[in-house]
């Protein structure tokens, strides 16, 4: 299967490695992640990128260090208030590509209300996506979600125990180096408090900052906003805002890290929280 062909320049004298661009048009993103058609051969193991190893990844160490320093400053400023403490949002997203149309995914999450303390939430979910064409995809999923009370790690009794199914449609647009993504999701929530529907819309924009195109070796700026609403009063339920960076180590591995702010309308949930979100994405 023909995928993207990186154009390499290898400066062995200074032990630097550059990816000048990519040949081919068969690339896309789903849920904010850049993908290309999977090359089922093992030729990637002979690419200069893999020979040089992870040292090439540290070409972007300065922007990453600046991001980490900014997040640490946010944590220190948030420690002065219990309700505004910086929590953590840890995500592992694993995908298996059957072909250029179908894929399945598995994703566990673990969240805390303070910096790796006061764990109050975990979820595990999975599903499948079908890529209609380069700019449109549809999918479905199912997951189990547990929310605990505040004041410690997994304080019982649980605040919510939920089984959830959903359908979603993803559309994307490319404007020069900026990639826009629109995701529409309809959820069916079977919670301990009863059944209810919820609808979500997320708009995301991303752009590489160290090379012209997204792909291997790209450090990308990412920002998105997602709103949650229901078909019953109060119709508006939640808003999430994210700003951060992402780095693609290879076709199989990428990392996103940044600041996430969540605002909840209902008093039974956290009203406004800051989180450090770290997402590790693997493609098999």
Tell me which architecture the domain covering 60-283 has in CATH.
Beta Barrel (2.40)
More confident residue, 168 or 54: 168
| Centroid of chain to Cα 112 | 17
Contact call for residues 88 and 112 (beta carbons, < 8 A):
yes
Contact call for residues 204 and 181 (beta carbons, < 8 A):
yes
Mean pLDDT value of segment 185-210: 96
- What residues pair up with 152 in beta bridges, in sequence order? none
Nearest 5°: the CA angle 173, 32, 174 is 15
pLDDT value at residue 74: 55
Indicate the range of 40-54, 84-98, 171-185 predicted with least confidence: 40-54
Highest mean pLDDT among 65-69, 158-162, 266-270: 158-162
Q: In the chain, where are the structural domains located?
A: 60-283
What's the token pair of residue 245?
């960076």
pLDDT value at residue 64: 56
pLDDT value at residue 85: 86
pTM: 0.73
- Cα distance between residue 1 and residue 35, in whole Å: 14
**CA proximity to 184, closest of 169, 173, 172:** 169
pLDDT value at residue 50: 39
- Give the pLDDT band (50/70/90) at residue 204: very high
Mean pLDDT value of segment 80-101: 86
Contact call for residues 36 and 23 (beta carbons, < 8 A):
no
Residue 77 has pLDDT above 70, yes or no: no
- Give the pLDDT band (50/70/90) at residue 265: confident
Nearest 5°: the CA angle 37, 43, 46 is 130
Contact call for residues 216 and 57 (beta carbons, < 8 A):
no
Residue 88 has pLDDT above 90, yes or no: yes
Indicate the range of 11-15, 96-100, 167-171 predicted with least confidence: 11-15
Which residue is it, tokens 């995301």?
204
- What residues pair up with 276 in beta bridges, in sequence order? 88, 259
pLDDT value at residue 233: 82
Residue 8 has pLDDT above 60, yes or no: no
pLDDT value at residue 68: 60
What's the token pair of residue 161?
């125990």
């Amino acid at each position: 299967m023909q995928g993207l062909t990186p154009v390499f320049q290898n400066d062995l004298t200074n032990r630097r490695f550059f990816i000048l661009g990519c040949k081919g048009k068969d690339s896309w993103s789903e849920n904010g992640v850049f993908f290309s058609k999977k090359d089922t051969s093992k030729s990637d193991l002979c690419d200069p990128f893999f020979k040089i190893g992870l040292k090439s990844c540290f070409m972007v160490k300065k922007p990453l260090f600046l991001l980490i320093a900014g997040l640490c400053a946010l944590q220190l400023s948030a420690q002065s208030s219990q309700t505004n403490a910086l929590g953590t949002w840890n995500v592992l997203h694993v995908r298996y590509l059957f072909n250029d149309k179908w894929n399945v995914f598995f994703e566990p999450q673990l969240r805390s209300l303070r910096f790796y303390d006061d764990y109050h939430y975990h979820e595990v979910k999975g599903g499948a996506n079908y890529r209609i064409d380069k700019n449109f995809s549809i999918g479905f999923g199912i997951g189990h979600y547990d929310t605990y009370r505040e004041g410690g790690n997994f304080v019982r009794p649980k605040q919510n125990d939920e089984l959830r199914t959903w359908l979603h449609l993803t559309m994307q647009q490319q404007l020069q180096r900026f990639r826009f993504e629109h995701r529409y999701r309809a959820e069916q929530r079977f919670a301990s408090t009863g059944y209810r529907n919820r609808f979500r819309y997320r708009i995301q924009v991303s752009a590489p900052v160290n090379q012209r195109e997204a792909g291997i070796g790209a450090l990308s700026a990412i920002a998105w906003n997602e709103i949650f609403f229901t078909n019953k009063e109060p119709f508006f339920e939640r808003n999430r805002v994210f700003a951060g960076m992402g780095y693609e180590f290879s076709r199989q591995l990428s990392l996103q890290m940044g600041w996430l702010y969540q605002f909840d309308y209902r008093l039974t949930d956290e009203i406004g929280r800051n989180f450090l979100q770290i997402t590790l994405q693997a493609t098999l």
